[in-house]
DNA sequence: CGTCCGTTTGAGGATCATCAATGTCCGTGG
DNA sequence: CCACGGACATTGATGATCCTCAAACGGACG
C-alpha cells in the first residue's frame, strides 16, 4: 500500500551519477522528510573516503575474496552487482546477499572474511584498508555514525531475507526477491520493469530453492498474469496488487 | 573441528558477573589473541553508557516495543532472554532473533521499530535514548567503533540464521539452533548440558518449522543417541561428533 | 484439584527436491 | 558471418519431507 509509494519516491530521487566518489545509502535511525533510503555522506565525507580508497574494476565472475582467508580491506560498491555466499560441507552454496551500488561489504571477523564474494556483473569497487578506515572513523565520529547506520540497514536487510526464506511457497519467495530487486534497481525505462542481472541458479541459492523450483515459480507468476517475463533478465509487473500482496506476506 | 575448540574457549573465559554495568560482547574486526567473542567496552565506557542508561526489569512475556511504533530508545540486555519477531499478514510470526546478555537491540528505522520485541524470561535491560546515545557516540569515536563492531557481529548472526533456515531437514535446523544456543549459554554444570529457555513454539518460529516438526526432530535426535532431553528445557549432547556435523552442514 | 496452554503423537495431503532429458542462449572459433 | 560447443534454463515424473488437521497428553498456575 503506502510502502509502494515510498519505494517509488526513493527511486525517483535517485539520479544517475558517475560514481566517481564513494557513496552510501540507507534509511537513517531518526525520522526524515524523505521516505526511503537516503545518501548518508556529505560531499566532504565522500572526498574523505575517496582519499583512502582505491577504485577497482573487476570483470564478472571475479572472486573478490574467499571465506576463511585473511583480509585487510572492506569495500563499497560503485557500480555493478556482487554476491556473497558460503561453501557448505554438504555441497550447498547459499547466497547470503546481493550487494548493489552504495552498499558496503567485506567486514571481517577476527581478521578473516566469513563469506566468499564474487562479481555477478562487471563491477567497480572502492577498496578501503580497514586500519586506515578505522583511523578515519576515529577522527570523524559523524562519518562513523553514517557507517553504523548503514550496517544497521544491512542487518534489517538480512532479517527480511530470513523472512523470505522461511516462507514455504516458492512463488512467494520469488515475489519477495523480485520486490527487493525492484527497490535496488535504479533505471527503469518503464516503471514496472525489473532488470534481473543474476542467474536463476543465483536466485535459487538466495531464496533457498532449486533452479527448477525457480523456473516453475516464474511460470506460475506468468500464468496468473502477475508478472510477465520478456526474457531471462527482464520482468514486468502486470498485476501490482497481487504482486505486492505476494511479496509482503 | 577447530570451531568446537574455539567456542569452548570462549565460554570458559566468560565469568559470572552482576550485570550492574552495561556490557557488549562480539568478535572484533581485527585479529585477537582470544578466539571467540570478547568484551568490547572498557570500564570507562561502561560507566559512560551507564550514565545515560536506565536500568529496567521486565517480567517474562512483557512486550518491550511493537513493530511500526515510534520509539526513542535502544536497549542492551543485562540479564535474561529476549525475542524479536514480526507479525505477518498470513498469520505467521517468524522470530528473527533471540537476544542474550551483552546484546544490543532496538535500532529503529526512520524513528520506527521494525520488529516486535518481547521478554522470553524475566529480564533486565539498559534502556538508552537514541538521541543521547548519538551525542555520546559523536563525542567518543572509540566507543562508537565498538558499537559498529557489535552491529556487524549481529549481522553475521543474522546470516548464520538465514543459512540455518535455508536447510530443508528439520533435525539439521534444530541442531544448528541448539549449537547456537550453546554458544550463548553461560553457566553449564556439565559441559554438554544446554539450557533451553524458550518454548517449542518460539523455536519453531525461529527455525521456520511448526511446533510439531520441532517435537519430531527432538525425538529423532534422541532416538539416534545424539542428544538426550532430560526435560523440555534441558538438553544434553551425547554424541558430540554427530551433533557438530549436523549443526555445521 | 481443575482448567488452560503448550507439547506430543498420528494420519493424510501438499509442496518441493531429485533425477533425467530436452531446450535455449551466449561466446568462441572457424 | 555462421556453426559449434558448453553452460544455463526449462520441463516432466517420482519420491521424500514437512504441513495440516485432529486428538490425547502433560505441566503450570490459580
* Model confidence pLDDT, tens digit, residues A52-104: 999 999 999 999 999 999 999 999 999 999 999 999 999 999 999 999 999 99
Higher pLDDT, B190 or A143: A143
- Identify the pLDDT of residue A12: 40
* Cα gap B103→B22, rounded to integer Å: 10
Length reported for chain A? 249
Contact B142 A138 (CB under 8 A): yes
Determine the Cα–Cα distance for residues A235 and A191; give it in Å rounded to an integer: 11
Q: What pLDDT, on a 0 to 100 scale, did the predictor assign at position A186? A: 59
Exposed, middle or buried, B63 (CB in 10 Å: 0-12/13-18/19+)? exposed
SS (H, E, C) A4-44: HHHHHHHHHHCCCCCCCCCCCEECCCCCCCCCCCEECCCHH
- CA atom of B98 to C1′ atom of C15, Å: 29
Residue A141 forms contact with B (CB below 8 Å): yes
pTM value?
Answer: 0.92
Query: Residue B114 in 3-state DSSP?
Result: coil
Max Cα separation, chain A? 57
* A75 beta partners: A105, A127
Q: Which helix (H) or strand (E) holds A234?
A: strand A234-237
The pairs formed by B65-69 with CB atoms below 8 angstroms and a separation of 24 or more are B65/B106, B65/B113, B65/B116, B65/B117, B66/B113, B66/B116, B67/B112, B67/B113, B67/B114, B67/B115, B67/B116, B68/B112, B68/B113, B68/B114, B69/B112, B69/B113
| Interface residue A111 vs chain B (CB under 8 A) | yes
Q: Which of A9, A126, A112, A125 minimizes the C-alpha distance to A66?
A: A112
**Could you give the residue ranges of the DSSP H alpha helices within B53-198?**
130-139, 141-166, 170-184
Using a CB–CB cutoff of 8 Å, tell me whether A146 touches chain B: no
DSSP states of B167-233 = ---HHHHHHHHHHHHHHH----SSTTEEE--S-HHHHHHHHT--HHHHHHHHHHHHHTTSEEEEETT
List residues bridging with B77 in a β-sheet.
B125
Least confident of A6-15, A24-33, B87-96, B145-154: A6-15
Report residue A38: phi and psi, to 5°.
-140, 150
Q: pLDDT in tens for each of the 249 residues of chain B?
A: 344 444 444 444 444 445 789 999 999 999 988 888 999 999 999 999 999 999 999 999 999 999 999 999 999 999 999 999 999 999 999 999 999 999 999 999 999 999 999 999 999 999 999 999 999 999 999 999 999 999 999 999 999 999 999 999 999 999 999 999 998 875 555 677 899 999 999 999 999 999 999 999 999 999 999 999 999 999 999 999 999 999 987
A63 CB within 8 Å of a chain B CB: no
Q: Does A29 touch chain B (CB under 8 A)?
A: yes
Burial A159-180 (b: 16+ CB within 10 A, else e): bbbbbbbbbeebbbbbbbbbbb
| CA-angle at A209, arms to B85 and B109, nearest 5° | 30
- pLDDT recorded at residue A189: 55
- For residue A118, give the H/E element and its range: strand A116-119
**Nucleotides on strand D lying under 7 Å from protein C-beta:** 8-13, 17-22
B40 vs A117: CA distance, rounded Å? 28
Cβ neighbours for B42, distance < 8 A, ≥ 6 positions apart: none
A-B CB pairs within 8 A amount to 144
Contact flag B89-A249 (C-beta cutoff 8 Å): yes
Rounded CA–C1' distance between A74 and D29, in angstroms:
54
Sign of CA dihedral A210, A212, A214, A216: negative
pLDDT digits (tens, 9 = 90+) for A155-180: 999 999 999 999 999 999 999 999 99
Task: Out of B92, B96, B208, name the one closest to residue A159 (CB).
Answer: B96
Phi and psi torsions of A26, nearest 5°? -170, 170
Residue A4: pLDDT band by 50, 70, 90 thresholds? very low
Contact yes or no for B62/B73 (Cβ under 8 A): no
Residue of A166, A168, A210, A249 to mutate, interface with B, max B Cβ within 10 Å: A166
Neighboring chain B residues of A133 at a CB cutoff of 8 Å:
none
| pLDDT beyond 90 at A7 | no
Considering only the beta carbons, identify the residue of A35, A96, A147 that sits closest to B159.
A96
Round and report the angstrom distance from CA (B144) to C1' (C12).
56
3-state secondary structure of B129: strand
Region A214-242: mean pLDDT is 95
DSSP letter at B109 equals B
Mean pLDDT across A113-136:
97
**pLDDT band at A32, cuts 50/70/90?**
confident
The residue that leads in pLDDT, A35 or A4, is A35
Backbone angles phi, psi at B146, to 5 degrees: -65, -40
What pLDDT, on a 0 to 100 scale, did the predictor assign at position B186? 59
Q: B159 and chain A: CB distance < 8 Å anywhere? A: yes
Q: Which residue is nearest to nucleotide C15 (CA to C1')?
A: A169
Amino acid at each position: 500500500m503506502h510502502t509502494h509509494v515510498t519505494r517509488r519516491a526513493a527511486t525517483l530521487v535517485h539520479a544517475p551519477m558517475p560514481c566517481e566518489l564513494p557513496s552510501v545509502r540507507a534509511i537513517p535511525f531518526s525520522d526524515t522528510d524523505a521516505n526511503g533510503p537516503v545518501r548518508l555522506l556529505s560531499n566532504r565525507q565522500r572526498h574523505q573516503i575517496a582519499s583512502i580508497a582505491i577504485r577497482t574494476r573487476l570483470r564478472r565472475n571475479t572472486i573478490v575474496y574467499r571465506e576463511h582467508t585473511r583480509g585487510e580491506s572492506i569495500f563499497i560498491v560503485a557500480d555493478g552487482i556482487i554476491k556473497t555466499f558460503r561453501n557448505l560441507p554438504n555441497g550447498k552454496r547459499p547466497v547470503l546477499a546481493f550487494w548493489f551500488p552504495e552498499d558496503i561489504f567485506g567486514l571481517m571477523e577476527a581478521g578473516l572474511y566469513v563469506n566468499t564474494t564474487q562479481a555477478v556483473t562487471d563491477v567497480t569497487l572502492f577498496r578501503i584498508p580497514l586500519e586506515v578506515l578505522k583511523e578515519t572513523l576515529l577522527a570523524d565520529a559523524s562519518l562513523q555514525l553514517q557507517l553504523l547506520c548503514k550496517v544497521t540497514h544491512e542487518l534489517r536487510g538480512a532479517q527480511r531475507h530470513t523472512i523470505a526464506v522461511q516462507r514455504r511457497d516458492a512463488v512467494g519467495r520469488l515475489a519477495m526477491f523480485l520486490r527487493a530487486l525492484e527497490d535496488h534497481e535504479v533505471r527503469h525505462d518503464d516503471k514496472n520493469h525489473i532488470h534481473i542481472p543474476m542467474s536463476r541458479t543465483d536466485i535459487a541459492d538466495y531464496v533457498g530453492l532449486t533452479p527448477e523450483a525457480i523456473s516453475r515459480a516464474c511460470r506460475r507468476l506468468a500464468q496468473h498474469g502477475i508478472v510477465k517475463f520478456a526474457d531471462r533478465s527482464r520482468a514486468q509487473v502486470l498485476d501490482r496488487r497481487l504482486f505486492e500482496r505476494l511479496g509482503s506476506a
